[in-house]
Structure 1
Amino acid sequence: MVTIKVGALADSGDLYPFIPLMEGKIKPEGFNLEFEIIPTVQDINEAVLKKEVDVSVPSVAMYPYIQDDYYILSNAVATATDGITGMPILSIREMKEDEITKSRLIVHGQNTTAFTLYKLLIGRYGKLVIVRRVLDEIKALGKEGDVLVAVHEIKMMYALKKLGINVVKLGSMWDMWKNLSKGIPMPMGMVVFSKELGRELALKFKEVYEKSKKYAETHLDEIIPKDVEIMRESQKADIDEEIVRKTIWADIEEYNVPIDQVKRGLEFFYKVCEERGILPRVRNIDLI
């Protein structure tokens, strides 16, 4: 029996759909699953580029580099349709636009959607500062870097409040994206499946993933304690259960955007990024 290696991202919003499968609440038929918890988005991006995992959750911006090797699960594209998780740009002081473009910019990694959107929507920066772990970013703000693109806004704001750090919201990727795209949904992350395992197996995995996701969404009280446990261990931080709950609720909306809107977002994102020389051409968005 084939074993599918899943690289699960240690982020509550992307992790919750996998937990019922990890915990045996939902059981696949005809294949086995082997899970590896991967702590950061950039680590995920590098793992799929090297084809070290069969299933994982890379940045949408990573897809042009892996399009020949992975399918996209159409029921698993995290897509923003409002500003709730719209990637705010944070600083510890007020800044004018020309100051932002000369700032030390903190992002998760070079292949992340956050950094790609920054290049698309703002463009220039003074120095790039890579801080892979989510909650380590706030320790760098005002020290190693001046401006932060906060992908995990809810966790970020809560952690900043706990540390007594006051921040200024200079803008958001969502607001700028909305103006550029005329309101098209903004894609951020996706679940991909290795083409080496074939389309038939990919469709079977998609079906069991959907069952797992729906189970998690209707049994959050069962899922959240495990989510918190994984997050605390992987992020080496004291993650508050209520923040995990709020993060998951925000991501439930993102992971349940209608497929026609998801496709519009992906098509526009890849088209405009190619036109501006930010990403390679995507020949075909291989949604299954």
Structure 2
Amino acid sequence: MVTIKVGALADSGDLYPFIPLMEGKVKPDGFNLEFEVIPTVQDINELVLKREVDVSVPSAAMYPYIQDYFYIMGNAVASAIDGITGMPVLSTSDIKQDELPKARLIVHGPNTTAFTLYKMLVGRYGKLVIVRRVLDEMKALGKDGDVLVAVHEIKMMYAMKKLGINAKPITSMWDMWKNISNGSPMPMGMVVINKDLGKELALKFKETYEKSKKYAESHLEEIIPKDVRIMREAQGADLEEEIVKKTIWADIQEYNVPIDQVKRGLETFYKLAEEKSILPKVKEIDII
């Protein structure tokens, strides 16, 4: 029987659809699953690029580099459709938007959607500071970097408040994106599956993933404590259930955008990124 290696990202919104599968609440039929929890999105991006996992949750910006080897699962593309998860640019200083090109910029990694959007929408920065973990990013703000693109802003803003960090939003990727994209959904992350498994098995996994996602969304009170436990182990941080719950609720909206809108957002994102020579050309958005 085929074993599918899954690299699950240790972020509440991306993790929750996998938890029923990890906990045996939803069982695969005709294949086995092997899970590894990966702590950061940049780690995920690198593992997918090296094809060391069959299924994972890379940045949308990673797809041009892996398009020949992975399908995009159409029911698992996180897309922002409003400012709630719009990646605000935060600072502890009174930096104005027109000063961003000179600022020291903190991002999760060079292949992340956050950094790609920043290059697309702002263009320049004074110095790039790569800090892979969310809590370390917050501690670096004002010390190693002037501005931060907050991907997980609900957790980010809450944790900053607890740490006594007074961060102010300057702008957001969403506010700038909606103006140049004609209001298209803004791609963020996506679940991809290895083409070497074959399309039939890939579609079978997609169906199983959908069952797991729906189970999680209808059993949140059961799933959230398990999400918190896995996150604590992977991140080495004390996370509160209420914040994880709010994060998941926001991400449920992202993961349930209609497929026609998802496609429109992806097409717009890759077209603009190619025109600005930020990402390689996408030959075909291969969605299953």
What TM-score do the two structures reach when normalised by structure 2? 0.99
Matched, 1:6 2:6: yes
Match of 1:24 in 2: 24
Distance 2:97 2:151 in 1: 20
Q: Any unmatched runs of 5+ in structure 2?
A: none
Match of 2:110 in 1: 110
SS across alignment from 1:101: helix
Match of 1:157 in 2: 157
Q: Map of 1:96-175 to 2, 5 A cutoff?
A: 96-175=96-175
Matched, 1:239 2:248: no
The total of aligned residue pairs comes to 288
What TM-score do the two structures reach when normalised by structure 1? 0.99
- Structure 2 counterpart of 1:163, one-letter code: L
SS across alignment from 1:243: helix
Distance 1:87 1:96 in 2: 17
The superposition leaves residues 161-213 of structure 1 with CA deviations (integer Å, 9 ceiling, x where unpaired) of 10111111100000000011121110100000000111000000000000000
Distance 1:18 1:238 in 2: 21
Q: Map of 1:168-183 to 2, 5 A cutoff?
A: 168-183=168-183
SS across alignment from 2:65: helix
Q: Any unmatched runs of 5+ in structure 1?
A: none
Distance 2:27 2:113 in 1: 32
Match of 1:277 in 2: 277
Distance 2:47 2:194 in 1: 12
RMSD (Å), alpha carbons: 0.6
- Is the contact made by 2:97 and 2:171 (CA closer than 8 Å) also made in structure 1? no
SS across alignment from 1:63: helix
Q: Map of 1:29-40 to 2, 5 A cutoff?
A: 29-40=29-40
- Structure 2 counterpart of 1:127, one-letter code: K
Distance 1:167 1:190 in 2: 28
4+ long deviations beyond 6 Å: none
Match of 2:63 in 1: 63
Deviation at 1:46, TM superposition (A): 0.2
- Structure 2 counterpart of 1:138, one-letter code: M
